[in-house]
Every structure is written in C-alpha cells, then in structure tokens.
Structure 1
Amino acid sequence: MDRETLDAYCRKQLGCTYDYQVDWECDRYHVGGKMFAMIGGDAKGKDILTVKCDPARADELREIYEGIVPGYHMNKTHWNSIYFDADIPDGLWERLIVHSHELVLEKLPKKVQAQLQILE
C-alpha cells in the first residue's frame, strides 16, 4: 500500500480533520477532535498505518497477518500498526480504516455525532 492512497481514504471519512504532528513526523486523522488513524514510521523509519481496533479483532489480525503489530507508541490493546509492505488484501486496509473511524465516532457525544451527520 502507498501513503497517498491511505491518506486519501482517511481524509474521505465523515468529519475527518487532518494535522501533521511535527514531533512524531506523522500525519494524523481525527473525527470530533479524536484521532482515528495515523500514518508515520516505526523506530527504524519503516512506514506504518496505525488504526484503532476492537481488542478481540486486533489480536486476531495480529495472529493472521505478520505485518500487523500492536500499535506503535499507542495503547497496545486498542491500536494496531500495519506495515505498508504487509501482505494483506487491499480491501482490508479500507475496512480497518472504516472500523477505526466508526469506533471513534460512536464514542463521541450524541450532539457531535448529529452535527457530523448534518454536514454529510
């Protein structure tokens, strides 16, 4: 997978806002002020996408795919990092971004959720 494709897919999620975190050298994607995805690098500078994930699903994905690991610099229970060179189906990238976005969105106050739906 490549950075431009992932960036475009993250940005098209409902209510997405973007910023660049200089200290971490990463692109961050938020909904309602809460991060749902991050594109950056690991300690060796290897490109990764980090997304929030249901804990049971996160463990399952890590067991199935070698390129999916506990979230780099994140809560290892709730976040996964996926190496760009991971051997995973293309559609899985998109589904994991959507899943992360939905997890964050559903935790936002109902008023914020309603405002985002109106903007859609």
Structure 2
Amino acid sequence: MFEEWASYCLSRKGAVKDYPFGLDPLVMKVGGKMFALLSEAGGQVHISLKCEPEMAELLRSQHEAVVPGYHLNKRHWNTVTVNGSLPEEEVRWMIDHSYALVVKSLTKAVRESIG
C-alpha cells in the first residue's frame, strides 16, 4: 500500500522523492518544494498534504481520517490516514490538490521547466 501511494505521487510531472529528515518520512517534492510526506506506522499509511486552509478545515470536519498536519503548519497541511475509510479517488484528489498548490507557488521559470 505504501509503495502504491509513493508511486502515485511520483507519477506527477516533475515529482522526485527525498529524505531530508532521515529515512522517515519519504518526502515528495516538485520544483524543490514538498507536496507530500509519506510514512507507515502500525500497518497504516499516513500522507501529509498541503491544502487550502478552508478546504483543509472542511476535509477535517467530514473525515475522521483527516487531521491537522503532523509536525507541519496546521493551517495549510492535513495528514490523511489511509485506512479504507476514504475512497482511494478522494485520497488521489487530495494528492493532486497538494501538488497543484505547490506547482502554482513555483516561479514561472521553474513551472516551465517541469512542463
């Protein structure tokens, strides 16, 4: 399950993996900026994702598996526990949303280099 989510993140254009904090978490970056942090504990995958503040609050209120970002700016990041309570397409949407927010924040030159 962990590898499947890591592969999905890496399938985003220009995405690379990094380990800036040691072996855990696996950090996914685009244009040098983080868009996802993945870890596994107790057989469950946890993915921290950037999110627009209003959407972050809404997702937290709708899903028990979505909580404020662990060790991150809680206004802009959520941590999602992938435990089957959320449809996979919703988790993919959250990953894509995070990726898009980060790409949007990059300089024009960096965005163009990504494609």
Q: With the length of structure 1 as denominator, give the TM-score of the two structures.
A: 0.88
Query: How far did 1:35 drift?
Result: 0.3
Q: Percent identity?
A: 35
Moved over 3 A (4+): 21-24, 44-47
Gaps spanning 5+ residues in structure 2: where? Answer: none
User: Which one-letter code corresponds to 1:105 in the other structure?
Assistant: V
2:35 is paired with a residue whose SS is strand
Query: How far did 1:86 drift?
Result: 5.0
Determine the structure 2 residue equivalent to 1:72.
Answer: 70
Determine the structure 1 residue equivalent to 2:3.
Answer: 4
Query: How far did 1:81 drift?
Result: 0.2
In the aligned structure 2, how far is the partner of 1:115 from the partner of 1:22? 26
CA separation of 1:5 and 1:73: change in aligned 2, threshold 3 A: same
Number of aligned residue pairs: give it. Answer: 115
CA separation of 1:86 and 1:76: change in aligned 2, threshold 3 A: farther
Query: How far did 1:26 drift?
Result: 1.0
Matches within 5 A, 1:49-60: 49-60=47-58
User: Which one-letter code corresponds to 2:33 in the other structure?
Assistant: K
In the aligned structure 1, how far is the partner of 2:68 from the partner of 2:106? 24
In the aligned structure 2, how far is the partner of 1:45 from the partner of 1:89? 18
Residue range with higher mean Cα deviation, 73-82 or 12-21: 12-21
CA contact (8 A) 2:44 2:83 kept: no
Query: How far did 1:41 drift?
Result: 4.9
Gaps spanning 5+ residues in structure 1: where? Answer: none
1:87 is paired with a residue whose SS is coil
CA-atom RMSD in angstroms: 1.8
In the aligned structure 2, how far is the partner of 1:41 from the partner of 1:73? 15
Query: How far did 1:25 drift?
Result: 1.4
Determine the structure 2 residue equivalent to 1:19.
Answer: 18
